[in-house]
Amino acid sequence: MPIITVENLSKTYPVAIKEPGIKGTIAHFFNRTYRQIKAVQNISFSIEPGEIVGFLGPNGAGKTTTLKMLSGLIHPSSGNVNIAGYLPFRRQPQFLTKMSLVMGQKQQLLWDLPALDSLRINAAVYRISESEFKQRLGELESLLSLQGKLTQPVRKLSLGERMKAELLAALLHHPQVLFLDEPTLGLDVNAQAAVREFLREYNQRYDATILLTSHYMADITALCRRVMLIYEGELIYDGSLEELLERFAPCREVKVELANIIPEDKLAVYGDIKAIAGREVRFLVPREDLTKTVAQILAQLPILDLSITDPPIEETIGRLFATGVTQ
């Protein structure tokens, strides 16, 4: 049975229309008019227990609005949501113990207090006993490599340490479902890798279900086999990451290092030249022509090195967002 079920979920916001200037302000005061903004439009999907699913979309596509509806922070305009057997917007205590929402741009830890004090407050809210609190704290502290950091004021922690502490606070009650909205936002490469490794370990250890939004594609490729794409409030793709690349990245990238510089016009016959940097050339070659083209390059050009990869996933996703087409 799916742990998350979403059927025809929509959210529409009324936004007041106001003309500029004093005249517009007076008119707005006495006769206010609105336009309707469709943030999310009739999206449906289900997620099985233990899945890690990437939820992708450009800014303003409706990702955060969807997560807020799934976690019960806002009420949907229409549609149905079921999370672990509960209706999120009712905010039942039993539901709140089964889920957690982490937003990379928001914090729940008190800025001037040690993180440990905020964690004790969370333990009291979730009615976690002292012995269980110590056991869970030690376990998560070790997984996140936060030993010796939780007794410092939050403002004294680095950005990466604060994000880890926020994750610890969100997971102290061992939720079954975890909604993550940009959890690695602003972190350096090492901190991003540490958070990704922790999430993978947490998922495997507790069979937790994770719905993850991120603008860092490394988060998605490292953690998610399945991705959902939302564009202008509509779900435009739901499937495996591999199938997405196969369907919408029809070319492979061939990178060669030449023994000497060759004019661009003589290289263009081998494929669409993506970039030239000295003796390094990057081609885009249709998948069906790859074998023949690579054979020609090896036979006709002075090659020192050659590699074949898929184009960066950011480019494939970017093209889909630019067109909103997945057919």
* Positions in the chain whose pLDDT score sits under 50: none
> Distance between the two ends of the chain, CA-based, in angstroms?
29
List strand residue ranges (DSSP E) for the chain, in order.
4-17, 33-47, 52-56, 78-83, 99-103, 177-181, 209-213, 226-231, 234-240, 251-258, 272-277, 280-286, 303-309
Q: What is the CATH number of the domain that holds 43?
A: 3.40.50.300
Q: Which domain holds residue 236?
A: 4-245
Which one-letter amino acid corresponds to residue 155? R
Give the pLDDT confidence score for residue 324 in this predicted structure.
59
Give the pLDDT confidence score for residue 145 in this predicted structure.
86
Boundary residue ending a domain (229, 245, 261): 245
Give the pLDDT confidence score for residue 309 in this predicted structure.
85
Give the pLDDT confidence score for residue 326 in this predicted structure.
55
Give the pLDDT confidence score for residue 19 in this predicted structure.
86
Strands 78-83, 280-286: pairing is unpaired
pTM of the model: 0.80
Give the pLDDT confidence score for residue 323 in this predicted structure.
65
Give the pLDDT confidence score for residue 315 in this predicted structure.
73
Same domain, 160 and 258: no
Give the pLDDT confidence score for residue 10 in this predicted structure.
97
Same domain, 205 and 268: no
Give the pLDDT confidence score for residue 325 in this predicted structure.
56
Same domain, 111 and 62: yes
Phi/psi-derived region of residue 125, left when phi > 0, alpha when psi is between -120 and 50, beta in every other case: alpha
Give the pLDDT confidence score for residue 72 in this predicted structure.
94
